[in-house]
Every structure is written in structure tokens, then in C-alpha cells.
Structure 1
Amino acid sequence: MAAVVPAVSFAQAQPASGTTELDRIQVTGSRIRGVEIENQQPILTVSREDIARSGQATVADLLQNISSAGSPAISRADALASGENVGGYYIDIRNLGANRTLVLINGVRLGATTGGYQDLSQIPVSAIERIDILKDGASALYGSDAIAAVVNVITRSRFDGAEASVQYGQYSDGDGGETIYSATFGTTNDRGGITVSAEVMEGDPVFAGDRFFSAFGDAGPDYPGSGFSPVSQNGSWYDEATGTWLTLREGGNPANRGDYVPHTAEYNANSNQQMMVQTGLERKSVFTNINYDLTDRITFNSDILYNKRTTDQQIAGYPYQSAAFGTLLSGDSAFNPTGEDIDFRRRLWEVPRTTRSELTTFRVVAGLTGYFEVNERPWDWGVSYANNRNEVTKTGHGDASLLATGPALGPSFIDANGVARCGTVGSVIAGCTPWNPLLPAGVAGPGSLGNADVQNFLFPTYTDSGETSSKIYSANLSGGLFELPAGDLGFAVGIERREETGRFVPDAFNQSGNSTGLPATTTQGEYDVNEAYLELNVPVLADMAFAQELTLNFASRYSDYSNFGNTTNSKGSFLWRPIDSLAVRGTWAQGFRAPSIDNLYGGIGGSFESYTDPCSVGVSGSVAGNAACTAAGVSPTYVQLGQGLVPCTSWPCQTPDQFISGSNPDLGPEESISKTAGIVWSPGFAEGLTLSLDWYNYKLSNYIISDSVNRILRDCYVLGDASRCDGVTRAADGHISGMFYGLTNLGELETEGWDFGARYRMADTAFGGFTFDWQTSYLSQYDSLGQNSAGENVFIGGAGDPGLFRVRSTLSTNWEVNDEWNVTWNMRYYSGINDGCVTNRPCSDPDRYQLGETAPRNRLGSNTFHNLQVSYSAPWDGTISVGVDNVLDREAAIMFSGGNVSTGFPYYPEFDIGRFMYMRYTQRF
């Protein structure tokens, strides 16, 4: 919470009548009235005009384009994501993780999922006045999560009149249509007003098969087929006699063993044909602000938000591998061509996996703010209550029930009417429909997966549900204690109580592990925190030679959590103006992130991990044949097996079996130390020009991480720590068929870089007015704690790797003509990245070493995307805007190592996926 609700302070004036008028001023980064924190700390402001000129559909989309933003944790590009957070859109500043950037609405925390993620998409863009991004640690003022930055969304208030807007756009490929309807109404009088903003947004999905980087699988258009999966829609079975996988030839008889031929690459599956590269989205939201002066010195303020968000995902049919579930095709099945139980593989192509995530948000904030004087010195006070509740329902389809696949693959026969029946003659299994997994997709016949009865039997509908609640009570007081030679000593103090509860309940099938979906159990827990803070703003010097201003700011916050105990975090900053046009600033701050409900009380979850088995031959640091590997029953000649139990040819290699991970109720808070230093210069020889340069450094410790698969394997097999082998299960062939690993406070991370900003507002010319805004972020260091092949803790540098761009830069040029025409050209630049090398693919640096190990890389070039918008302000108070994003239809290079592992595509979510064109009309009344 800020000093009052929302984050406001009051400037005062004494009119002739002698009454006090209150002027509402928003403040981000300080709780003391009148502090010019935008110069004292690095703050970036996105104005309403900036929003209008962007054409973006959500706040997250808008903020993702700022230079200091990192790769989003989850976005519309992430069709592969699962769990409670799917469908939300989150902002990650400094690449420190979305749950380490605190999001506020008018100074009040936004509600979070059980994982601590705050969904920015629920805020209607039409309701926003501006967005402040404090690019600095601020836990001393705002508490947990304010490690990397604070994003404060300031909404419109005391709006008088009405405006309505409609926008439609789509990609030049003819897909991804997006429609936005919005309206804002307001009425005011001399004491206050009410403002209501409503918005409806509908976004169509985009499929991977319609984009150059994903249409041909993970390998891209130059290597079609090489990234396809052997677990395909054609089906195949393992012939033990020949040691080969066989598939039905085109036009073959599925009952004739002789019609099965070796399963070669031509039968593999391009799963991307069924994948979404951009999910579908529908959002309906209403935001209301009520602001009313009860007296000349007391104001009531309330924010009310309702949001209903629906997200649709689709990924390819499940790659079913019978050995993983112990459901071989019975030798007594009517569809078995051998008469013996056989191991088979079949992608469930006819039934893609779909998920509909529906989130409903109810948010109410109410508070009183006031003003009084002590010895003619102004003081502000505020009390408030906030309640934010999220309800989520997820409906899934396309994962097979293991309770159904067992009998469907068991004994069966064809009755006298030619109908396939489960069981045996005279002992039919009621309600069961047999399945022929060897019949390729698109081929009709008994037991075909294209048969509606087979689908209805194998594929139930799954429903997950969850609810989170956040209640915040706060009281704040700020003012001037006494006058110093350079000005008033500013003072703020406050208390806050926050109660967090959360629950997410997966479908009973997922909880029991009786489906092909990832197993998961219920997450449920709660905690509360009581906090108190103190802030001082000390003006040391003013109006002196080489010290037009020297101000120090100090803040500290004490937090007492019901789960892990207490923590105290402090912050200090300074602002020095040697001359009026130059400001030098710096901060030092402690920060923390309390473990989330999911971290502490989450259920178990499953995933198919990519890892390197040190007991495998052919890998760097292999210990194949040593005592630990031999004791685990692994052959000295074992080669790690990947998807489809096919020997791996490159590492890390993805497991064919689900690994299980879980929470840890004994976790403590993450801790951080952040430092910034910078200058702001407005040179007198160039009126309208402002330059800024800021250095930052963050060090995180006790970072909550999963105890990685590779770390466990190295401890167990390389270092010989037998206690670390307990969670590892191996099959008879040597491959790791199961593993359990949990969360721990073992992570460390350090990042450092520079931000440069230049804004120039030229004097008006005969051709109109020009404004240039250039923002650049340079990442000089991004080191995280890891382990080398010897199991030693080392810091592994990541700057320049995918998602960790060395340089991100934006340049906005705006041209205004006669208050009627406005032309905006935006450029986004991403520096080149270091992709991993893959066999038979380009590799620019094959002999590279890192930490004494071979670490080849392929250097990919930089990318620049251009956006253009032209708008016309009509005489009837309407505005027509036409825009094109990615004007030049830029296509970035394919990342052969897999690119963004969260999306599953060799392309990064920051990169545009095509040329997007839109038109918007706004009418004011």
C-alpha cells in the first residue's frame, strides 16, 4: 500500500475563502507527500498518450515492450504451459522472474495466484491514466516481491463525460483476429465523481502450422522433418524378433502382420501441426472509481474491479507409449496382428489436447484519506481495506483415461454384427469400447481412434478449480516533522496486515495419476503478515554552490509472517543537484520475496524433464561403469534413452517418463541486495532534451529453486553421495523411469547492467512538433549458481543467452501536425543471442569452452521490429487510428536448440510472429 489509498498525497492551497482545497497527486516510490521521487530513483512512466499510440490489447503486452522487461513467464505464446497460472499475462523486470516484480493498482497490491503471480491482463486498458515503473528494489516501502521493480497502474478518476472506442486487427496472414470494445463514463461535481470503464476483448488463436518458424517442427523450414517425433499418428509396435519398430504401410491390412513395415522418419509426427503458437483470449472487465470529498479535509476513495477472462489452448494429441503405463496391446485383442502382447507407440492425433481456463476476479478497495495541520505544518493520513478474490476453473480434454485404456487394449473380439467388443465371447465388458492403436489416423475401421464411440470412452473431460483471496488492512501517516535549513524533514509511518489464502484442486484423474495428463495434487494453504514501516526524507543542502539540492531518503520495514518468522528490510537513497540542470542519484536496498502458498503447500506435479545422465556413454563428464552406476544396474555401454525409448544423440535429452516435483513447507524468504547509481541531465543548450544514465546491480540469495535433476544425478553418480540416489528409479534397461525432487533455498543470482534514456521535445516547426524517446538497457552480467560436471558449485553466466539479451532498445518518434494528425514510429531492437549447437546444424563457435567444459554455441544475429501508427483527430471529437506492427514483416532466426523451452518453439515470445494491422475509432461525448 502507498501512503493512502490509492497512492496519493495532497498539495494544498489557501483560497480567499480560507478553506483548504485538496489537489490529488499520485506518488510511486515514496510515502511522503511532495517527494520528487521520479528524480531521486529510476522511474519510467508510460502515459495515456503512449498507451493510445501503441495499439496493445493488454497492460502486459504494453509493458513487455519496455527495454528493461525480461522474457515473460507465461504469455499468449505459451500454449504448452499447464496449471493455475495459465491464461494470465505477467511482467518480468530485469529477468528476475515475474513473481519478483510487485504490481499495484493505485498503490494497492494486485491479487496473486498461489504461485505468487499477478495477472496484468485483468486491468482494462481503457481505465488507465498512466503506469509508473520503479526500476529498483522497494521492499522497505512495499514489502514482499518488490525485489526487481514495482509497477503501479494509476487509473482514471473524476472523469467527466463519455468516450467509446472500437478496435479491430489481424495478421497479414489472415489469422489472429483481435477485437476490442471499450467505453468510459464519468460524472463529477465540485466534491468528487464516479468513473466507470468497461472493456471487452476477443483474440483469436494462431496455429503453429501457419508460421515459418514452427510449421516444419522444431528444426525450421530448412530442415523439414528432422524435428519430428517417432511417436506419431501412424502408430507403431515393437518387434522383439527383429528389434525394430513397425508401422502399417499405406493401404495395408491391419490384421495382416506382413503389411507392417519398419517405422522410418517418413512416418514421424509433426506435432506442431496441431499446436497453437498464440492462444485464444476473451476478456470482459469493468473498473469503477469513486472519489468524493466528505469534507474539505477528508476524502473517500474506492476502486471496484470485475474481470472475467477466458483463455483457450490447444496442443498436439498425447504421445501415448504403452510401456510407460503398463498397457500393452493384449495378444487376445482383435486388433493384434501377432497374437502376443506387444509394446506400441501412438500419438492420439484425432483428439488434440485442449484447455479452457476461466478466471473471475472481484476486487474492492475502500479507504479514507485526510489532511490536518500541526503547528501550521501539513500532515496526511489514510486508512484502507482491500479485498481481492480470484476464482479459476480449468476444463481440459484430450488426455486419455488410464482406467479406460487398460480394458480398451485388453482382450476383444468382433461380434456377428461386425462390432468390436471388449472382453471375450460370452463375457463382454459392459460400457467398454476397444481401441486399435495400430490403425493410422484417417484410416477407418473397427477400433479407429476417429470413431466417436472410441473417443467418448477414452477421453473424459477434466475440471480443475481454485480460489485465492488477499485481504489488506492499512493505516498511514505522513508529513513534515520540523524545518531544516534546506527544507522540511519528511516523515511517514504506517502499519499493514495482509491475509493470504489459496487453493487449487486438480481433477480427480490427475490427482490419482489415472490419466495421461501430468499428475498433480491439491495446493492449499494460508498465511498472514503484520508489517510496519518508517520513511524519512532529509533535505541536507539547498540553493548553494554545487549543491542546489542534496537530499537523503531512508526507509525500513519490519514484517512478521505466520509461517517463517520475521524479516527487516531497509533502503537508502540520495539526490544531489550540483546545478539545476544536473541530478546525481543512487540507492541501496534490501529486498525479499516470501515463499508463495504454492512453494509452501503445493501438491506434487509431473513433468518430462530434459537432463544429462552421467551413467550414459557419449556425454561430457560421463562416469559410465563406475561403482555408483553399476550398483544401480546400469550397463557400462548404456546410452541414455529419450522420447520413445530412442537412444539420445544430443544432450540434454528429454525423458520418456514423468518426473515428480513437490513443495517444501520449511522454505524461508528469498533475499536481495540492489544498488543503483545514475545521472539525469537537462542541458541548457538544448531545450526539451533530457538524458539519463543508470547503473544497477542485484544480488539474490536463498533463491527458491527446484532441486534440479542434473544436480541430483551428479551428487548421486559422480560424487557418490548415496543419500541423493533415494529419489531415482531406473528401469531394467537402465533408463531413469522416475524421480522426485523438491524446492529448496539454494539458489543465488547476480545481475548487473545499465539503462540509458534520451527524450527530446523539439520546438514546434512549420512541419509540426516532433518528440523522440530512446530507451536502452544493457545487460553486462547475469550469473546464476549452478554445478559443473564435477559437481562443484560455480556461477554460470547467462548474459547473451536466449531471453537474456545483452541489449534491448526502443526508439519512439512522434510527429504532431496542427493538433489533427499524429504519426508515431516505434522501433524495438534485440541484440544477437547465443544459441546452443545441435548436430547437423550451423554452429558458429564449435570449440568454445566454459568453466573448463566444452560449450559450443551458435551465434544468432540481432533483430529490429518496426511499428507505425497514424491517427487523425476529427472536428466532431472523434479519433481515427490506423496502425501496423512489424511493418517490415521481420522474421527472426530459428533457434535449433529449442529456443524458448516454455513455449516449445524455436522462437522467442518477445519476437513478432507476423505483420499485424489494426484500425481504431474513438468517439468522445
Structure 2
Amino acid sequence: MGDLGEVVRSVPQNFGGGQNPGVASGAAAGGPSNQNVTGGSGLNLRGLGPDASLTLLNGRRMAYGGFSQAVDISAIPVEAVDRLEIVPDGASAVYGSDAVGGVANVILKPDFDGVTVGARYGGATSGGLTTRDSFVVAGTTWSSGGLIATWKRSSNDPIWSDQRDFTASMLQPSTLWQDNDLQSGLVSLYQGLGDLVDVHLDALHSARSMLTSQAYSTTYYPYAGKTHSSLVAPSVEVHLPADWTLTVGGTLGQDKTEYVQRSMLSATGQVLSSSNGAYTNRSRSYDVGVEGPLLSLPGGEARLAAGAGYRYNSYLERGYTFGEEDGRFAYAELNLPLVGAGQGIAGVRRLELTGALRTEDGDYGRVTTPKLGLIYAPSEDLTFKASWGKSFKAPTLVQRFSGQTGIYYLASTFGGSYPADATTLWLSGGNPDLKPERARTRSATLAFHPQALSGLEAELTWFDIDYTDRILQPITSYDVFGNATYADFVTLAPSAAAQAAYLAGVSDYYDLVGQAYDPSQVVAVIDGRYVNASRQQIHGLDLSGSYRFDLGAGRLTLRGSASRLDSNQSLTASQAPYALAGTLFNPAKLNARLGTVWNQGGFMASLFGNYRSGVTDTTLETDGGSFTTIDAALRYETDAGSGLLDDMSFELAGQNLLNRAPPSYLPVSLTYAPYDSTNYSAVGRFLSVALTKHW
């Protein structure tokens, strides 16, 4: 896969809404958390939003994106990555409030010697998305340390709606996949100072530009954005007596997005208006922690990890608003191995208790979140794990302080049967009166790893998350007038005075009608600003497994994973719960990936199938079809040596080999893509070739 964004999008537990360059017009669900205004790729575990899934680089926090509070994981050069660890389980008691959905930790290669250069070229066979990647990785190690540095350039052309038969009826010009150009560089250094001290430094900088376009009846709106993101994360490890370790570290990060959006006349290309702005998120943190053994128990050493720290975050929206927050935190994790294999207790090969406690003191007062865990293995073939925890998540700075936006739409944009000249006023933006989210998380896992088949591993996990005061934007569909769920957020027949009061608080105004604002034509005000939903419930099952075995002269690996998700929410206390998962622009209920990898010498071949269940259009009460694709790759690596063709790799890869089109639905307007771009891709068959050389 070309970048970490492609990797996380292949994970069944990850939802494609949010920071995903394939999110097209019409994906309104979740507001900014379901939009991509930077061209990056972010983690969105369980569909809880990118601000509820924590992304770490070598265990250190990265700067949030300025607009969506997401971390662009694709900015990390995949060529420098050793592995990606994803834990789709609530981890707020360990990492903080923004880890409700889970944690992804990008681990960089610890040791790299030499120089590797590479290039990748690909494109969609149906047109568009011509992709060009090039990179350099250089590193060296010495007796007491090592260094790795990377530079990467990646660019792709857009996919226009007229390049696909299933979107040819959309108004032009509209993009289905963003035009994108990324340059990123990374340096990772470690140095031992004697036997007791290790110094680490990770630094990352990326610059990305992107372009999208959305067309309406007589106008279109090109949006051009540039994002610069940086991170510096130093740390020092001190090895203390009795196998204890003291770690002191910090991070300094910034993410800034600047944009220009124009309104242009479709017939002539004349610029009718132009607006620009910028979103900047700055963060810094400092922490100190210790880890080591406390005492010996029958099952092994009881270990403690504890620490404390400080975090600061600021948000600036050019010309509109500024917000900042800071807080102090302390945490402790305890592992108690009560029973071990050496004790020979029948039916209890392993028994461990784990506990974590985190206290945060910030703008919302002092909050303590606990987590308890159990690990029980009756035999060497089975392991059972269970966890329970509570989470607290303060509103992000974007949710509290983003500027108020008013958009003047034709009423037909939102369905209904109003006259052709009827209009609406849509409101969006921050809400300083938001309350924190609270959640209870539970999970149970059964792991099967039979000793008689040493290459076989399988896991089944049940999870349950119960939210109260979930922060979201309430309008998740453009069919506003046909959906009774939104009634509390729609003011019908608003008076001119009421409209004036709304507009007085607006800092950014967009006219998508193409004429002067006329209060007499406004039939409704739609309030899409952030609110606290009464309740949201998420539960489901994860299944994963692999089997590795020798076959002839090679080795075959069978690998699969699947996730079944159910979720519902109530926007107000008096509202009955309604389904989220399995509906348009929310996570599909079932996602799966199954395949095989063959290795023999320097040759590798892989074949994977991907399945995503259909989603329901709740307005028309129609069920969409499922989406099944097949991916394959062939790679050959030559032996190490000094020759020109030595130490090289050649790869041919294809995604969606059968060129499947996404299942369609009927949008309320030809402005919007007639498929759910948060769950399904418009790319079709994509073929690529890659070449690397190492010295």
C-alpha cells in the first residue's frame, strides 16, 4: 500500500468518513468530522470520529488538524515505518480523553543502514487518480545509536464526476477524489550516553496542497487548501537500579490549513466571489514517567507505570475566533500476575489483573477515569481477556470556538415540496456551551492459539460503548425536510427579525443561491451547530485470525478480519433511539477482509477480498447493495549485493480488480454524489507499479 492512509482504510474497524480523500460531496453526516478539507487521511475507529481516535508517533502525540481535530496519518512516510499497532478499545484511562475509540501507534524503524530510493506510479483504469510517488530513506547505526531520515513526494490527479458512468448526471465540474500533492520529511534519532541514559528525537514536517470542486445549478465552487504540519518530540530515558526506567519527554506540534474558495459562474468561468481563511492548531506537552517491577508474585513480577504531565492546545481561525485550553494529568497502570504456568494449577495457566487510573485537571474541572482488566488462560491454547472502563472527553477547540457560518441555499437542496424560488438559511459552527462527553466502555476477547498448530491464531472480541452527551452536529443528511429526526433543529417560517438575529452572529456567509438574501423567500432556518446528543450506543463483534504454514518450498499465510457494528443515538432526551450503523454516511454494519500471502525466496504474491455490507437510505426506506472487491499484488526482491540489479524490489499491485462500482442511492440534488463515499470508493480498478533500490 502506498501510504498509511491506505493501510488504515483497509482495517475493518475503521470508518472511511472524515479525513479520507475519497469523501465526495453530499457526505454530510457528522459535519466536519465526516468531511475532508485538507486532503489527508485520519483514523476513525468505530465511526466515533477522528477526534476520538488517538494517533501516536513512537508513542508521542501528534498535532491535531486545524479544522477537523484529526491527525493526518498519511503524512508519515510509510517507508520509515516498522509497524502500525492499532488497539480499537477505549484507552482513556491510559492516554487521555481523546482515546475513546482506540489508539494507533506508528512505530518507526529502529535500525536502518544504507540508502533506499523508490518510485511508484499508478492510476485508475476508468480515468483519473494518476498517482506519482517517490521517496528516499537513509540511515546509519553506530555502537551507541542510530539515525533514519526520509523524504517523500506523493501526488495524484483528481477523479471528476464525468469520468464515471454512475456519476455522469452530477452537475459539473465536481470532484469525486481530490487533487493532492504531499511532501513530507522525517528524522528519527537515538543516542545512548553510557549505559544509563538514552536520548531520542523524532521530527516530522509535511506540506500538502489539495483542490476540490462542487457544482450547483448555475455556479461551482473550487476549494484550494494548503496544510503545513510539524512535530518535534524529544525524550530521555534513564535506566535506574532494580530494572526501573525514568522517561522525560515533550512534544511541540503545529498544523495550519489555509484555503481559498471561489464562487464561479458555470457557463463562463467568471469569478463571482472569493473567500479565504486559515485554521491553526498548536500544541505542546511535557511528561515524566517511571516504569518497573514492584514485587514478585506467584505468576511473575507485579509492574507499575506511573507519570504526570502538562498539555496545552490553541486554536486560531483567522479573523474569527481564538481558543485555548491547558490541563495537567497524572496516571498509573498496575499489572498483577497472580498465577503463572510454572505453578501447575489445573485449569488456570495464567491469571492477571490490570488496572489504570488517570486524573485530568483542566478547563472542565478535575475528572478521574478508571479502567480494569482481566487476563485468564485455562490452558496454553486459550486466553480470555475482559476490560471495563470509563471515559471523559472535553469538547475540542473547534467544537467550542469555530466561527459561525451561514449558508444561503435553495430549499430544494434539502428535499420537501417548496416553490422553486424558496430558500433556506443553514447555520454551522462552534458552541461555547457544550458539555463534556462521558462514556462507559466494555470489551471481552477470546483468543485461540493451539500449540498443536503453532501457526494458527484467532481472536473474537465483543465491545460495547455507551455515550452520554455525545458532541456532534445534528444534521446528518441533506434530506432535512423529509426526516422527522431533525424537527427540533429546523425553524419553519422564521420571521425577518429572527433571521436577522441569526445572521448577526455569523462570521462567514456563503450565497449558494446566486442572488441577494431575501428574508421573505426563506422558508426555514436549519441549525447544524454543535450540540450534545442525549445518548449514543455502540456495540459489536470483531473477528480476526491467521494461519501460517510451510507449503513446498515456500510459506503460505491465510489472514482475515471482520467487524460487525451496531449503533444508535437519541439527539434529545425525549427522542426514541434511531439507527446509525448501516445507514447512509454512517459505518456499514459488516466489514471484512480475507486473503492469502505466498512467500518463496524473494517472491511474494498476495490476494485479498474485501466486503462491506449495504447501507439503508432511511428517508426512502431503500436498502443499498453490498460492495465486494478483490486486491492482488506481486513482488520480487533480488538478493543483496553490489550489482546494479542487486538489492532491488519490483512490485505490481491492483485494487478492485473486477472494477466494481459502488452501490448507488438517490440524492436530493444532482449536486451530490449518488453513492455513499464514506463507505464505498469511486476509484474502480487501480493498477500500480513500484520499484525500489537499496545500497
Decide: shared fold, TM above 0.5. Answer: yes
Which of 14, 17, 28 does residue 72 from structure 1 map onto?
17
Pairing of 1:93-242 with structure 2 (within 5 A)? 93-114=45-66, 115-217=68-170
Question: What is the deviation of 1:658?
Answer: 3.0
Cross-structure match for 1:906: 675
> 2:668, 2:469 → 1: CA distance?
29
For 1:609 and 1:65, how far apart are their aligned partners in 2?
Answer: 36
Equivalent-residue separation in structure 2 for 1:911 and 1:303 (angstroms): 35
Runs of 4+ in 1 over 6 A off after TM superposition: 81-84, 608-613, 709-712, 715-718, 724-734
* Aligned-pair CA distance for 1:156: 1.6
- Paired residue secondary structure (1:213): helix
Q: 1:601 aligns with which of 395, 401, 408?
A: 401
Q: Which runs of 5+ in 1 are unaligned?
A: 1-54, 218-270, 320-346, 401-439, 442-448, 507-521, 620-638, 647-655, 719-723, 839-856
Q: What's 2:531 paired with?
A: 744
1:177-576 maps to which residues of 2 (within 5 A)?
A: 177-217=130-170, 271=171, 273-316=172-215, 319=217, 347-348=218-219, 352-373=220-241, 377-398=242-263, 441=267, 449=268, 455=270, 458-459=271-272, 461-505=274-318, 522-543=320-341, 544-561=345-362, 563-576=363-376
Cα–Cα, structure 1 residues 108 and 733, in superposed 2: closer, same or farther, change >3 Å? same
Q: Verify the 8 A CA contact 2:491 2:524 in the aligned structure 1.
A: no
The answer as to whether partners of 2:462 and 2:541 remain within 8 angstroms in 1 is yes
CA displacement, residues 525-550 of structure 1 (integer Å, 9 cap, x when unaligned): 11101000011111111222211110
Answer yes or no: is the 8 Å Cα contact 1:164–1:183 preserved in 2.
Answer: yes
SS state at 1:140 partner? helix
What is the one-letter code of the residue matched to 1:164?
A: V
Q: Is the 8 A contact 1:165 1:922 kept in 2?
A: yes
- Matching of residue 778 in structure 1 with residue 677 in structure 2: no
Change (3 A) 1:60 1:687: same
Closer/same/farther in 2, CA of residues 363 and 903 from structure 1, 3 Å limit:
farther
* 1:758 alignment partner in structure 2: 545
Question: Displacement, 1:363?
Answer: 1.2
Cα pair 1:78 1:903 within 8 Å, conserved? no
Of 860, 878, 882, 2:624 maps to 860
What is the CA-CA distance between 1:589 and the residue it aligns to?
Answer: 1.4
Distance 1:118-1:495 versus aligned 2 partners, 3 A rule:
same
Give the Cα separation in 1 of the matches to 2:108 and 2:409: 42
User: Normalized against structure 2, the TM-score is what?
Assistant: 0.88
1:408 match: none
> What is the aligned counterpart of 1:870 among 634, 644, 663?
634
- TM superposition shift of 1:607: 4.1
1:145 partner SS: helix
CA distance in 1, matches of 2:468, 2:236: 39
Per-residue CA deviation, residues 840-892 of structure 1 (Å, 9 max, x unaligned), is: xxxxxxxxxxxxxxxxx222332210011011112311110001111111123
**What is aligned with 2:456?**
689
Change (3 A) 1:574 1:151: same
Identity in percent: 23
- 1:622-771 pair list within 5 angstroms: 640-641=417-418, 644-645=420-421, 656-706=423-473, 713-714=487-488, 735-738=522-525, 742-762=529-549, 764-766=550-552, 768-771=554-557
The offset of 1:897, in angstroms, is 4.2
Paired position in structure 1 for 2:591: 808
Q: Alignment partner of 1:398: what SS?
A: strand
In 2, are the aligned partners of 1:366 and 1:386 still within 8 Å (CA)? Answer: yes
Amino acid at match of 1:287: L
Amino acid in structure 2 at the alignment position of 1:216: S
User: Residues of 2 paired with 1:752 and 1:280: CA distance?
Assistant: 36
Deviation, structure 1 residue 203: 0.7
Contact in 1 for aligned 2:63/2:230 (Cα 8 Å) = no
Counterpart secondary structure, 2:398: helix
Give per-residue Cα distances to partners, 1:434-489, cap 9 Å, x unaligned: xxxxxx93xxxxxxx46xxxx3xx54553312322110100000111111222221
Contact 1:285–1:307 (Cα < 8 Å) also in 2: yes
Name the CA distance, whole Å, in 2 between partners of 1:158 and 1:921: 22
Does 2:668 match 1:888?
A: no
Distance 2:10 2:671 in 1: 19
Relative distance call for 1:587 and 1:727 in structure 2 (3 A) is farther
Tell me how far apart the structure 1 counterparts of residues 427 and 210 of structure 2 sit (CA, whole Å): 26
The answer on whether the counterparts of 1:76 and 1:89 sit within 8 Å (CA) in structure 2 is yes
TM-score (norm 1): 0.67
Q: Give the AA of the match of 2:235.
A: G
- Tell me which protein shows more strand as a share of its residues: 2
Query: How far apart are the structure 2 equivalents of 1:858 and 1:460?
Result: 39
Count of matched residue pairs = 653
Structure 2: 5+ residue runs without aligned partners?
493-497, 504-516, 640-645
In the TM superposition, what whole-angstrom CA distance separates every residue of 1:580-599 from its partner, at most 9, and x where no partner exists? 12100011111122211112
Amino acid at match of 2:547: Y
- How far, CA to CA, are the matches of 2:668 and 2:336 in structure 1? 52
Residue 918 of structure 1 aligns to which amino acid in structure 2?
Answer: S
Counterparts in 2 of 1:924 and 1:609: CA distance versus 1, 3 Å: same
How many Å separate the matches in 2 of 1:118 and 1:902? 29
2:659 maps to amino acid: D
Is it true that 1:795 corresponds to 2:577 in the alignment?
yes
- Does the CA contact (< 8 Å) of 2:666 and 2:674 recur in 1? no
For residues 100 and 542 of structure 2, what CA distance do their matches in structure 1 show? 17
- The one-character-per-residue Cα deviations of 1:19-38 (angstroms, maximum 9, x if unpaired) are xxxxxxxxxxxxxxxxxxxx
| CA distance 1:492–1:902, shift in 2 (3 Å) | farther
Q: 1:923 to 1:533 in 2, by over 3 A?
A: same
Deviations 1:710-745 (A, max 9, x none): 677448989xxxxx9997899786752545564332
CA distance in 2, matches of 1:609, 1:378: 65
* Mapped partners of 2:84, 2:490: distance in 1: 49
d(CA) in 1 for partners of 2:448, 2:459: 6
Deviation larger for 731-740 or 306-315: 731-740
Give the 3 Å change call, closer, same or farther, for CA 187–707 of structure 1 in structure 2. closer
CA contact (8 A) 2:537 2:569 kept: yes
The one-letter amino acid of 2:294's match is L
RMSD over aligned Cα atoms: 3.0
Partners of 2:671 and 2:81 lie apart in 1 by: 30
For residue 546 of structure 2, what is the amino acid of its counterpart? Answer: R
Does the 8 A contact of 1:84 with 1:504 survive in 2?
Answer: no
Q: Give, in whole Å, the separation in 1 of the partners of 2:81 and 2:538.
A: 32
Report the Cα offset of residue 61 of structure 1. Answer: 2.0
Cα displacement string for residues 557-614 of structure 1 (whole angstroms, at most 9, x for unaligned residues): 00011x222211110111111111210001111112221111222210234689999x
- 1:735, 1:573 → 2: CA distance? 55
Preserved CA contact (<8 Å) 1:837 1:897:
no
Structure 1 471/888 Cα, relative in aligned 2: closer, same or farther at 3 Å?
same
CA distance in 2, matches of 1:547, 1:169: 53
Distance 1:610 1:547, change over 3 A: farther
